[in-house]
Chains A and B, each alone.
Chain A
Amino acid sequence: KAGVTQTPRYLIKTRGQQVTLSCSPISGHRSVSWYQQTPGQGLQFLFEYFSETQRNKGNFPGRFSGRQFSNSRSEMNVSTLELGDSALYLCASSRGPGGTDTQYFGPGTRLTVL
């Protein structure tokens, strides 16, 4: 069974631009969560989608948004990029919503904002 895939793996953007990251969950998984990982803040939760609905959202500004499609694939978008948005963005999928279901992580997208 294929794991969680994320594209692209690496991205370089400049301040003010916008970016879209993609995540394909494991087949049969309907929940996708997104996390931002930085050396200073560690792993921070962005949002979770289940069956195309945003289930909960972390404490990030409105520049961070996401969506989920009917095939469970998910995208996240960051508009008006800032230097501080440079991070590893990880997505994780699970069968169902909530924390008890094991979450499986993708390799991440490394975003660098110049």
Chain B
Amino acid sequence: GDSVTQMEGPVTLSEEAFLTINCTYTATGYPSLFWYVQYPGEGLQLLLKATKADDKGSNKGFEATYRKETTSFHLEKGSVQVSDSAVYFCAREGNYGGSQGNLIFGKGTKLSVKP
């Protein structure tokens, strides 16, 4: 079935390092794509989204570009901070009425940023 695959963690970086978290998806069409972030002990927060090919979503220094040629939506940040430590989930829009729901999530990537 349709799926989302993201790089396995955990990812450990030093403060101010460059971050990339890879995400690829399978789909028959062009679903909307999302990145959600989950801080310890909290629910998910929408970080950014892109609704069509070549769109770039951005928020809080994070960016991701919808690449239909490579079916990818990699998350990047130029300089991470300790406060970015969290679990990051890539997700795609689900199929209408499908059993996977409106959002199909990847497994999540845990990021730890050390001072």
Partner of A102, one of B31, B46, B99: B46
Q: Min CB distance, B49 to chain A, in Å?
A: 7
Q: Which residues of A contact B (CB under 8 A)?
A: 4, 6, 33, 35, 42-43, 45-46, 48, 55-59, 90, 92, 94, 97-100, 102-108
Are B43 and A99 in touch, CB under 8 angstroms?
Answer: no
Chain A interface main SS type: strand
Contact with A along B8-52 (1 / 0, CB 8 A): 000000000000000000000001100010000011111001010
Are B97 and A103 in touch, CB under 8 angstroms?
Answer: no
Q: What is the CA–CA distance of A90 and B43 in the complex, to the nearest angstrom?
A: 7
Whether B98 is near chain A, meaning CB under 8 Å from some CB there, is yes
Are A35 and B45 in touch, CB under 8 angstroms?
Answer: no
> 7 nearest interchain CB pairs?
A45-B101, A99-B93, A99-B102, A105-B44, A105-B43, A43-B105, A107-B43
Q: Which residues in A have their C-beta under 8 angstroms from that of B89?
A: 43
Q: Which residues of B contact A (CB under 8 A)?
A: 31-32, 36, 42-46, 49, 51, 89, 92-94, 96-108
Are A59 and B43 in touch, CB under 8 angstroms?
Answer: no
Given A43-B89, A99-B31, A100-B93, decide whether A58 and B46 contact each other with a Cβ distance below 8 A: no
Given A99-B31, A103-B103, decide whether A56 and B43 contact each other with a Cβ distance below 8 A: no
Q: What is the CA–CA distance of A45 and B99 in the complex, to the nearest angstrom?
A: 8
Inter-chain CB contacts under 8 Å: number: 67
Q: What is the CA–CA distance of A107 and B107 in the complex, to the nearest angstrom?
A: 19
Are B102 and A98 in touch, CB under 8 angstroms?
Answer: yes
Q: Min CB distance, B90 to chain A, in Å?
A: 11
Q: Which residues in A have their C-beta under 8 angstroms from that of B105?
A: 42-43
Instruction: List 19 extra interface pairs beyond A99-B31, A99-B94, CB under 8 A.
Output: A4-B43, A33-B101, A33-B103, A42-B106, A43-B89, A43-B105, A46-B101, A48-B102, A56-B97, A58-B99, A97-B102, A98-B96, A98-B102, A99-B102, A102-B46, A102-B49, A103-B46, A104-B46, A107-B43
Are A90 and B44 in touch, CB under 8 angstroms?
Answer: yes
Q: What is the CA–CA distance of A33 and B105 in the complex, to the nearest angstrom?
A: 14
